[in-house]
Amino acid sequence: MEKLQKNLSYQFSDISLLKQALTHRSVSKNNNERLEFLGDSILGSIISEELYSRHPGIDEGQLSRLRSHLVRGNTLANLAKKLDISENLSLGQGELKSGGFRRESILADTFEAILGAIFLDSDYSTVKKITLALFSELLNEASAEDSLKDFKTQLQELLQKKGYSLPKYELLETKGKDHNAVFYVSCQVDELSIKSEKSAKSIKRAEQACAQSILKEIEVQ
């Protein structure tokens, strides 16, 4: 764990907190889920405060979308990989056999748990300093204009940039009536052989969910 602490630029006073943050629920009841809950809240607060300060000209909705872009699972998993968190994960046999140390959801959750552990081991000021250092490049690259683009627009622009045809959206099914209706929609990108199916209370929301899912899939390819 020395290497991980060096990568974090933080030395734990209570190393048991770091051990717990690295322990998946498949191992023990004394796992990282509560620390993950704490770290998620702290991360959201730190990034929200930083975006509020950096982008005084954008509204609440734009700030929210920009924050979501920065703290989504894919981003956290990539940061976890840079820290070599997977080398220190404590996983049950089932998760080990299925390659859990590479699973993005586990890496992202562990990243948040570590932030929660740092907070408990030190204070808010310390975990804020570490978090902003880890997110420095991402924060510098984050554009206020990007927050204006919804997932469908982002997907369309990305595909056009790569020279691919536009995604194909299709309403598959509608269940229920009136205000209780649920719309099932698919989105397909032929050149990449990627397809996503999502449901929501409106066609627009379902399409946005499909586009978001495909964006995440393209990013990890």
pLDDT in tens, 152-171: 888 998 899 889 999 999 99
Domains of the chain (ranges plus CATH)? 2-148 (1.10.1520.10), 151-219 (3.30.160.20)
Q: What is the pLDDT of residue 64?
A: 85
Q: What is the pLDDT of residue 24?
A: 92
Better-predicted residue by pLDDT, 53 or 59: 53
Q: What is the pLDDT of residue 118?
A: 98
Q: What is the pLDDT of residue 178?
A: 75
Looking at the predicted structure, is the pLDDT value of residue 123 above 80? yes
**Going by C-beta distance under 8 Å and a sequence separation of 6 or more, which residues neighbour residue 209?**
151, 185, 196, 198, 199, 200
- Per-residue pLDDT band at 46 (split at 50, 70, 90): very high
Q: What pTM value is reported for the model?
A: 0.68
Distance CA 4, CA 42 (A): 20
Mean pLDDT of the chain: 90
Q: How much of the chain exceeds pLDDT 90, in percent?
A: 58
Closest CA to 64 of 144, 123, 159: 144
Distance CA 143, CA 66 (A): 8
Q: What is the pLDDT of residue 204?
A: 85
Better-predicted residue by pLDDT, 105 or 214: 214
Pairing mode, strands 194-200 and 168-175: unpaired
User: Considering 40, 50, 95, 207, which one is annotated as catalytic?
Assistant: 40
Output the six-digit token pair for 153.
């627009």
Q: What is the pLDDT of residue 4?
A: 95
Element (H, E) at 195: strand 194-200
Rounded to whole angstroms, what are the CA distances from 128 to 22, 44, 135? 20, 11, 10
Closest CA to 68 of 181, 216, 221, 218: 216
Asked if 112 is an active-site residue, the reply is yes
Looking at the predicted structure, is the pLDDT value of residue 202 above 70? yes
**Going by C-beta distance under 8 Å and a sequence separation of 6 or more, which residues neighbour residue 210?**
169, 185, 186, 187, 196, 197, 198
For 68: left if phi > 0, alpha if psi spans -120 to 50, otherwise beta; the answer is alpha
Closest CA to 66 of 175, 127, 143: 143
Distance CA 116, CA 108 (A): 13
Q: What is the pLDDT of residue 221?
A: 64
Distance CA 106, CA 27 (A): 13
Distance CA 200, CA 184 (A): 7
Mean pLDDT across 115-144: 94
User: Considering 36, 95, 112, 207, which one is annotated as catalytic?
Assistant: 112
Looking at the predicted structure, is the pLDDT value of residue 58 above 90? no
Q: What is the pLDDT of residue 143?
A: 76
- Per-residue pLDDT band at 146 (split at 50, 70, 90): low
Asked if 146 is an active-site residue, the reply is no
